[in-house]
Amino acid sequence: MLCVATAIIMLGQGVTSPILPLYARSFGVSAASVGLTIAAFGLARLFLNIPVGMASDRFGRRLVLVGGPLIVAAGSFLSATAGDLWQLLLWRFVAGAGSAMYMTGAAAYLTDIADPGNRARMMGLNQGSLLAGTSFGPAVGGLVAEFTDFRTPFYVVGGLAMICAMWAFRSVPESHSAARRIEASSAKSGRGWLRDTYSLATNMPFFLISMVTLGTFMTRTGGRQTIFPLLGADRFDLSPGSLGGLFTLMSFLNLMAVPFAGTFADRWGRKAVIVPASLLTCVSLVMLGLAGSVMFLVLASVVQGVATGFAGPAPAAYAADIAPQSSRGFAMGLYRTYGDLGFVIGPPIMGWIADSSTYAGALYFNTALVAVSAAAFAAWAPETVRGGRRVLLTEVAADLTP
């Protein structure tokens, strides 16, 4: 039931992915300002992931799984009416707040119903549903914009978000028991949430996987959603429909890769998937920077689609493996906050680099960040699952011993 809700809301969010940069640029702004419209969505998630995670621990997951899509709908409808860049930034922030509620609630929901032996596959199923939505969304958005205008796709997004809210209300059962909510409420009294924040923020494996996720989110929003459409339009004169087709191709390849990624991560360990997928992402970014023809651009898109598909479920499963049982919503909210930091800083920084140098320079900066975070994770993060079972604390300690 959760996977259906995820597919619906992500179909809506996918609709705007090839359109938003062109819509923002229609107000006559720079590439860096275009990046801000994408960053505004992530900025709301950056501020709200942790409070939303705490709320889901205390009041249950359904509150955020239903309320989040309703707020996405409001922000999307209002984005369609924006008269200038600043109004668009405001309404994208509102839509981002709703997205924070849904995505953090969904991550916590999955940790409730999964165990270490099947967690990556369960998260892979939800990731697959997410990608099923985003596989069709860009093509729909590109065609709608091509035959109408840049505003109409946002009305489509709002309608789909409302359908998601109704589906979640009617079909998704609560996963967080009343006893657990009472326990979480007690744990968060006084300075409990500060202790949890400090404990997780200073946990080296949690920090390392969070930095990997930061790099992944920067790739999605800075490299793919900001630089890729501008590069395709300026260097190869691609239309919104063509860009939507390439976005759909990457999302479809993500969808094909995710089931294998979840199975491999549960069977052979999280690191065996996370590190190679990150390195392949670096290869795809370099290829995008070097693209001198449409065919090479398509090939780079194929490589990135496969790479980011394999990078999907394993990092979230790793974070869930080490999350405290009594505050999983809080832990997953903090984990997503690192990712959304990449979501926020990626588009404006890479847009600024593109304005100051070239699109290729921005993509190479993205490459360096992903490579460094993957290397650090490979060197210092212990494995949490081997052969379909959770690694014992004594084994983790052995891994950390020089």
* Domains contained in the chain, CATH given: 2-400 (1.20.1250.20)
Mean predicted lDDT score pLDDT of the chain: 85
**Euclidean distance between CA atoms 308 and 313, whole angstroms:** 10
Q: Residue 40: what pLDDT?
A: 82
How far apart are the C-alpha atoms of 159 and 17, rounded to whole Å?
16
Chain segment 341-363, per-residue pLDDT in tens? 887 788 889 999 999 999 999 99
Alpha-carbon distance 358 to 351, whole Å? 9
pLDDT in tens, 13-24: 778 877 888 888
Q: Six-digit token pair at 11?
A: 């179909």
The 10s digit of each residue's pLDDT in 305-338 is 999 889 888 999 999 898 877 677 888 888 988 9
Give how far the C-alpha of residue 94 lies from the chain's centroid of Cα atoms, to the nearest Å.
17
pTM over 0.85: no
Give the torsion through C-alpha atoms of 254, 159, 20, 286, to 10 deg: 0
Q: Measured between alpha carbons, how far is 293 from 314 in angstroms, rounded to an integer?
A: 33
Residue 223's Cβ-side half-sphere holds a number of Cα atoms within 13 Å equal to 33
Helix (H, G, I), strand (E, B) or coil at 390: strand
| Spatial distance between the Cα atoms of 7 and 141, rounded to a whole number of angstroms | 16
**If DSSP codes are grouped into helix, strand and coil, which group holds residue 385?**
strand
Cα gap 381→179, rounded to integer Å: 33
Rg over alpha carbons for the chain, rounded to the nearest Å, is 20
Instruction: Count other C-beta atoms under 10 Å from residue 63's C-beta.
Output: 17
